[in-house]
Amino acid sequence: MYKHVALLVRQDDLSHEEFVDYWQTNHTPIAKEIEGVVRYQQVLPTDPENAEFDGIAELYFETLEELHAALGSPGSRDYDPTKDVAAEARRDVNNFLAIDERPRLIGEEIVQKDEVDSNTNGLYKHSAFLVRQEGMTHEEFVDYWQETHTPIAREIEGVVKYNTVLPTDPENAEFDGVAELYFDDLEKLYDALGSEGSRDYDPDRGKAKEAREDVNNFLAIDERPRLIGRERLVTDEG
């Protein structure tokens, strides 16, 4: 399935609480009706004061063409949809989002592990937006990530679901991929992957330690935004 992942940044004159209120109360009822959307989920930061972003919006589509028609294609943070609800949603983001500061990725989701039968509502989620090391091609990065790192990451203690998202248009994408690790307990997540306030972390044992050591082989970790949050399922027609 194809998904549009947007890292949300509020406008300067809004507090995080005001941003969330507008997003949930005003924008969400519009966004969930965007033409072609089959699943819509949101991630709210567990520690907003130390989070890099105010939230994540994830919109799923069956086809890439439907996604592009609604939300534009990679290469620009802005877009200009022509369909009715998508156009209304685009107009509404001007009321609460700093859209030029909102990174995004359009990609295809690959489920690497799933112990919850895709029921992620209410789970805690570590979303890492991956940037490859200098000197690697995107293809080399993906090969190492999928073949060498993923088998380690899926066994990190406490992980109940693990997705990877590969960009559909790598040349124009802002990131080389997204890693999504789900936990049913926030303390387990913090223990494995650190807490908000730092892009780096230092687990002291097990697969979490092995995975952290391995990222030095392919990730530019200081350039890798992340968000720790709790997922909220808005709609699912799948």
pTM (two decimals): 0.94
At residue 172, the pLDDT reads 94
At residue 238, the pLDDT reads 67
Residue with tokens 């307990």: 185
135-153: buried (b, 16+ CB within 10 Å) or exposed (e) per residue? ebeeeebbebbeeebbebb
Helices H, strands E: what count in the chain?
8, 8
Size of the chain in residues: 238
User: Helix or strand or coil: residue 101?
Assistant: helix
Mean pLDDT, the chain, as a whole number? Answer: 95
Q: What is the pLDDT of residues 100-118, one digit of tens each?
A: 898 999 999 999 999 999 9
From start to end of 80-167, where are the E strands?
Answer: 104-114, 124-130, 159-167
Q: Which residue has the higher pLDDT, 204 or 143?
A: 143
Give 162's strand partners: 113, 181
Flag the least confident range among 58-62, 128-132, 167-171, 203-207. 203-207
User: Helix or strand or coil: residue 163?
Assistant: strand
DSSP annotation of 221: G
Q: What is the pLDDT of residues 65-82, one digit of tens each?
A: 999 999 998 878 888 888
Dist CA 217 CA 213 (whole Å)? 8
Q: Which of 99, 105, 31, 35 is nearest to 65 (CA)?
A: 35
Question: What is the Cβ-side half-sphere exposure of residue 159, based on CA atoms within 13 angstroms?
Answer: 26
